[in-house]
Amino acid sequence: MTKSRIAAVDVGNDAVKGIFGKLDSELYIPNVIARDIEDRPVIGIEDLDQKDPADNLHVRVHSPALQDNNAIYRVGNLATKSDNASELDPGSAKSEEDQTLVMLFAALALDAVNEKNEGTFKKANGVVDANYTLGTGLPLREVKEGKDVGYRSRLLGSVHQVEFLVTPKYQGIKVNLKFDEVKVYPEGFAAYINLVMDNELNIINKDLIDKRILIQDIGGLSTDIAVIKDRNVDDDKAQGFNIGVSESLEKIREEIRTKHGVELDSRRDVVDIITKKNDRNHIMVKGSRTSVHDITDRILLELAKKQYRHLRNVWQKNSQTEICYFVGGGASVLKDYLKTLNNNLDGYNIDFFEDEKESIWMMANAYYKLIVDFSRKNEKVNKKEEKKAEKQTANASK
């Protein structure tokens, strides 16, 4: 029987976060792709294998799930250096974009060829056959529209191939990806699971378990507000909005270019400028340290006001709410602005994760907990059925 490896992958609008196996491996890749040629030029080709594969991902992706099949891409950090880099656009549906699948397949392929996993999958003639049990998610809005069903079916029942081209260590290797099971979770519910349960799905936050909670997940392109009541997401009251931080990051990037003549490669660079520990909101202009505080403050405060209006509207419709948790990469970017607005206005009981990494990795952690639990239960059912079949065979042979 082929081994199936656990994978929990959050294809976030800013970056892909993946957790694999028995928590033995994790990946973080910026969600940026760029179409490319097969034989991309490399300066210092002899040094290629000394570089990090995750920073130099160059792949051909073949899959019946893709609209643009067999295309060649730079992925992640390598793509950010391209003139034709592509990031997901506001208003796009994550479940329907080729980019979502390209990022997902690239992350899984990178895990499959990792030296740590030698012996996990069959490898012959430079081809790795990798089977995964995948836990992933989609925005609440897309799940409510039923798009999770189509997304899951595009992944199941087909072989998806990633071929590493000019990539350190793995050049020439092909990975055939197959899914034994795919679970697609609504992002708001996943955030709740992560808040109240550990990796064994034991309750770790008893204070929250029976509270009425809002979870406002601010992503790159969308915002989900999950309404938790009686330990479940209230599907009727949960809401998704086509507003995230990506558009504001693009505005900041454009204003910096116009005002200071500095070209930033991607939104990722903007995030680094506004979240770094030292010299926050500063860039180098012709070698001089220059503040861009006026640009970032104005644009991010404008977005924080829109996010706060959504909070206010949903809270008014769910007046018995006890606390709202802000999660996601967007919440990390807007945290100070939202706290200031709340202190000056309504004074709701809101909370953030002071640990930035915990907030950014929350979805991936939740998918991991859920897919491991599913896998365990599935294993128990299969063992029961095997024992039952053995018993029936033994009885029949008497």
Burial call 152-191: b when 16+ CB within 10 Å, e when fewer: bebbeeeebbbbbbbbbbbbebbbbbbbebbbbbbbbbbb
Percentage of residues in the chain having pLDDT higher than 90? 52
pLDDT band at 214 (very low <50, low <70, confident <90, very high): very high
SS3 assignment, position 20: strand
Please, which residues have CB within 8 angstroms of residue 393's CB and are 6 or more apart in sequence? Answer: none
pLDDT for position 396 = 62
Structural domain harbouring 288: 210-360
Note whether 29 and 154 are same-domain residues: yes
State the Cα angle at 116 between 113 and 121, rounded to 5°: 50
Q: What is the mean pLDDT of residues 120-145?
A: 91
Alpha carbon distances (Å) from 93 to 85, 244, 331, 368: 19, 13, 21, 23
Contacts of 367 (CB under 8 A, 6+ apart): 8, 9, 10, 19, 135, 136, 137, 183, 185, 190
Give yes or no for residue 44 having a pLDDT over 60: no
Output the pLDDT for position 204.
Answer: 80
Tell me the average pLDDT across 346-367: 84
Q: What is the CATH number of the domain that holds 263?
A: 3.30.420.40
Considering Cα of 111, then 115, then 119, then 124, what sign does the dihedral take?
A: positive
Q: Mean per-residue pLDDT for 336-342? A: 95
Which residues of 139-272 form beta strands (DSSP E)?
A: 160-164, 174-186, 213-218, 223-229, 232-233, 239-241
Check whether 224 has a pLDDT greater than 80: yes
Note whether 51 and 92 are same-domain residues: yes
Is residue 84 scored above 80 in pLDDT? yes
Q: How far apart are CA 152 and CA 68, in angstroms?
A: 18
Section 38-54 average pLDDT: 72
What's the pLDDT score for residue 117? 82
172 and 220 together in one domain = no
Residues 373 and 356 in one domain: no
Count of other CB atoms within 10 angstroms of residue 243: 20
- Inside any domain, residue 89: yes
Q: How many CB atoms lie within 10 A of CB 254?
A: 13
Asked whether residue 291 is assigned to any structural domain, the reply reads yes
**Domain contains 200:** no
* 202 domain residue, yes or no: no
User: Where does the pLDDT of residue 232 fall: very low under 50, low under 70, confident under 90, or very high at 90 and above?
Assistant: confident
In a domain, 17, yes or no: yes
> Taking a C-beta distance cutoff of 8 angstroms, is the pair 220, 245 a contact?
yes
Q: Do 158 and 216 reside in the same domain of the chain? A: no
Residue that wins the pLDDT comparison between 91 and 346:
346
What is the distance between the alpha carbons of residues 330 and 243, in angstroms, rounded to a whole number? 10
**How distant is the alpha carbon of residue 225 from its chain centre?**
17
Give the range with max mean pLDDT: 92-96, 163-167, 227-231, 350-354: 163-167
Whether residue 251 is predicted with pLDDT greater than 90 in this model: the reply is yes
Q: Is residue 388 part of a domain?
A: no
Residues 378 and 353 in one domain: no
The more confident residue out of 80 and 291 is: 291
Do residues 90 and 215 both lie within one domain? no
User: Does the pLDDT value for residue 386 go beyond 80?
Assistant: no
Residue 258 located in a structural domain: yes
Same domain (yes/no): 174, 226: no
Question: In angstroms, rounded to a whole number, what is the distance separating the alpha carbons of residues 99 and 101?
Answer: 5
Residue 312's pLDDT band (cuts 50, 70, 90): very high
* Residues listed for the chain: 398
Residue bearing the bigger pLDDT, 393 or 331: 331
If asked whether residues 374 and 295 sit together in one domain, one would say: no
What pLDDT score does 390 carry? 65
Average the pLDDT over each of 134-138, 247-251, 358-362 and give the range with the smallest value. 358-362
Query: Among 84-98, 122-136, 359-373, where is mean pLDDT lowest?
Result: 84-98
Query: Do the beta carbons of residue 109 and residue 103 sit within 8 Å?
Result: no
Pair 173, 259 in one domain:
no
Determine the pLDDT at residue 47: 66
Q: Is residue 384 over pLDDT 80?
A: no
What pLDDT sits at residue 43? 55
- Determine, yes or no, domain membership for 390: no
Which pLDDT value is given to residue 92? 76
| 114-132 mean pLDDT | 91
Summarize the confidence of residues 24-37 as an average pLDDT. 91
Q: Among 148-157, 164-173, 199-208, 341-350, whose mean pLDDT is lowest?
A: 199-208
Residue whose tokens read 């679970």: 183
Closest CA relative to residue 185, chosen from 136, 237, 236: 136
Give the strand pairing for 122-124 and 57-62: unpaired
Q: Which pLDDT does position 279 carry in this prediction?
A: 84
- For residue 345, the model assigns a pLDDT of 93
Q: What is the pTM of this model?
A: 0.84
Considering the domain architecture, whether residues 304 and 230 belong to the same structural domain is answered as yes
Q: Is the pLDDT of residue 328 over 60?
A: yes
Number of domains in the chain: 2
pLDDT for the residue 10: 94
CA dihedral in degrees (353, 356, 360, 361; nearest 10)? -90
CB neighbours of residue 115 within 10 Å: 6
pLDDT average, residue stretch 350-366: 81
Residue 364's closest CA among 244, 127, 193, 242? 193
Phi, psi (rounded to 5 degrees) for 100: -60, -45
More confident position, 187 or 110: 110
Q: Is 241 a residue whose pLDDT tops 80? A: yes
Contact 321, 312 (CB under 8 A): no
Domain match, 134 and 224 both = no
How confident is the prediction for the chain on average, in pLDDT?
A: 87
